[in-house]
Structure 1
Amino acid sequence: MRVSNIRRAVATFGMVAVAAVTLVGCSSDDDSSSDSTTTTATTTTETTEVTVTETTTEAAAGEAADPATTEAVTNAYVTFFNGATPPAERAALVENGDVFLPTLEAMTSNPQAMATTATVEGVTLSDPENADVKWTLLMNGAPVLPDQSGNAIQQDGTWKVSATTFCTLLAIQGGGAPVPGC
């Protein structure tokens, strides 16, 4: 039954991804633009954790995070939402990752899930161990879920994608079956 729930979640993720690509492809593209900065990080190291050393600059709650925190949170999001990242490495970058490992492993058989990546547009600290993240989910480089609001949590010096953020993404997929950890 657990495998069935995981398969259902993975299949649903694929369907949502395809629907999102269709919606994005059908949206209008006007020429108006706004000035904004998008931070995209790619990780080419073989480590499974992004560690943050103590910094001397701390932002107050609600302010943009310092550069080291922003980089660590961005790396966690970019690596976690990269479908090509091995499941064990992804599990190390999400809160309660051991619970999500079977779901992450099941996603490796879904071509749509494997084609996902993410960009982070902004990181704001809500307190020293929690951050609000503005991010976009991409499929094959095209935005499918733009301007998402998510959270990151710092555990043992490592910034991770919050379980709530991952569960919210899984809930968008639907399917009715609860995913372990959500």
Structure 2
Amino acid sequence: MRGSLIGRTLVACAGAALIVGAASGCSSDSDDTASSATSSAVATSSAPATADAATTKEITDAYTVFFNGQTPPDQRAALIQNGAAFTPVLQGLTQNPQSTATTVAVKNVTLTDPTHADVTFDLLMGGKVVMPDQSGQAVQEEGTWKVASETFCTLMSVQGDGGQIPACA
């Protein structure tokens, strides 16, 4: 049983590393760390509420398309907060065969306020869960729900490259 847990942990870490493998080519000379990417940008003043069906679908669709490694970089950029800033990283990921095999399965969407939501999802590679029960956020920009940049930066920081991505600094 212990070997199985260690194996799953190694697979999860390897999956995260594969996702960000191409991102290291998009680094900057900044000494910033990824720790700022892990702090929550969403402050709530009331109890979270389950999102209605339409909101849940829009957020789920944004996550599903954004984290699909087969989605072209320009379409992915349109589905992440401050998308233009991530275009170089998203273009780099297209060169990594492991990154192109990623997808997500959204498990839960909870509104924290009218323009922010918490999202629970599994990260998959080749259809197999490599990082279960991940926590992320969605934000509404100009009436469209998008993956919060913090969520992507946090996943990128798993490998240690999140601080080297200018958009995550």
Gaps of 5+ in 2: 1-12, 19-45
From the superposition, tell whether residues 63 and 18 of structure 1 become closer, same or farther in structure 2 (CA, over 3 Å).
closer
Alignment match, 1:16: 14
Equivalent AA in structure 2 for residue 128 of structure 1:
P
Residue 172 (1) aligns with residue 147 (2): no
Deviation at 1:16, TM superposition (A): 3.5
Deviations 1:20-76 (A, max 9, x none): 8xxxxxxxxxxxxxxxxxxxxxxxxxxxxxxxxxxxxxxx75111000000000000
1:118 aligns with 2:104: yes
Which of 143, 161, 174 is the aligned partner of 2:129?
143
Structure with more helix by fraction? 2
The CA deviation at 1:178 is 1.1
Q: 1:156 to 1:18 in 2, by over 3 A?
A: closer
**After the TM superposition, which parts of structure 1 deviate over 4 Å for at least 4 consecutive aligned residues?**
none
Letter in 2 for 1:98: A
Name the structure 1 match of 2:30.
Answer: none
Give the partner amino acid of 2:15: A
**Matched position secondary structure for 1:111:** coil
Q: 1:61 to 1:19 in 2, by over 3 A?
A: same
Identity %: 53
Which fold has the larger relative contact order, with Cα–Cα distance below 8 Å and residues 6 or more apart in sequence? Answer: 2
Please say if residues 49 and 111 of structure 2, whose CA atoms lie closer than 8 Å, have aligned partners that are also in contact. yes
Q: Does the Cα contact within 8 Å between 1:16 and 1:172 map onto a contact in 2?
A: no
1:102 & 1:64 partners in 2: Cα distance?
34
In structure 1, list runs of 5 or more residues that go unmatched: 1-14, 21-59
Q: Which residue, 62, 65, 69 being the options, matches 1:76?
A: 62
- RMSD value over aligned CA atoms? 1.8
Q: Is the 8 A contact 1:16 1:173 kept in 2?
A: no
CA 1:168–1:19: 2 relative to 1, 3 Å: closer
Following TM superposition, by how much is the alpha carbon of 1:99 offset from its aligned partner in structure 2, in angstroms? 0.3
Partner Cα separation in structure 2 for residue 124 and residue 177 of structure 1: 28
> What is the aligned partner in structure 1 of residue 145 from structure 2?
159
- 1:105 equivalent in structure 2: 91
Equivalent residue, structure 1, for 2:74: 88
User: d(CA) in 2 for partners of 1:140 and 1:110?
Assistant: 14
Larger radius of gyration: 1
80 and 18 in structure 1: CA distance in 2 versus 1, 3 angstrom threshold: closer
